[in-house]
Amino acid sequence: NAGVTQTPKFQVLKTGQSMTLQCAQDMNHEYMSWYRQDPGMGLRLIHYSVGAGITDQGEVPNGYNVSRSTTEDFPLRLLSAAPSQTSVYFCASSYSMASGLSYEQYFGPGTRLTVT
């Protein structure tokens, strides 16, 4: 299994540009999430999905859109990039959140985004 994959690894955008961060998992996990990690801050949840066709907002959703058309893929779209969105973005998946042992989050390698 490849686990959770993310592309691109690095990206530089100009303010106002849009782009999509790709995330895919091959573990047949129900739950998928997007986090951002900034220096001095914990991982913060942007959006998450409990299954294909179902998404919901996390703690910091503004400026981002998601969709989940398949179990495997969960892309994150930046609508109009701003310098405040400079961060490291991690996609994660988990089998479910229904019982304690299934809470383990498997993270992708991350996308380092800089907005100038």
Partner 1 sequence: RKEVEQDPGPFNVPEGATVAFNCTYSNSASQSFFWYRQDCRKEPKLLMSVYSSGNEDGRFTAQLNRASQYISLLIRDSKLSDSATYLCVVYSGGGADGLTFGKGTHLIIQP
Could you list the residues that contact partner 1 (CB under 8 A)?
31, 33, 35, 40-45, 48, 50, 56, 58-59, 90, 94, 97, 100-101, 103-105, 107-110
Taking the complex as a whole, how short is the minimal distance between the CB of residue 77 and partner 1, in angstroms?
19
| Residue 81 or 108 with smaller CB distance to partner 1 | 108
| Residue 15 or 26 with smaller CB distance to partner 1 | 26
DSSP, collapsed to helix, strand or coil, labels residue 60 as coil
Tokens at 38, concatenated: 């900034």
Residue 101: phi, psi to the nearest 5?
A: -70, -20
Amino acid at 39: P
Helix (H) or strand (E) holding 24: strand 19-25
Taking the complex as a whole, how short is the minimal distance between the CB of residue 78 and partner 1, in angstroms?
20
| Residue 14 or 101 with smaller CB distance to partner 1 | 101
DSSP, collapsed to helix, strand or coil, labels residue 17 as coil
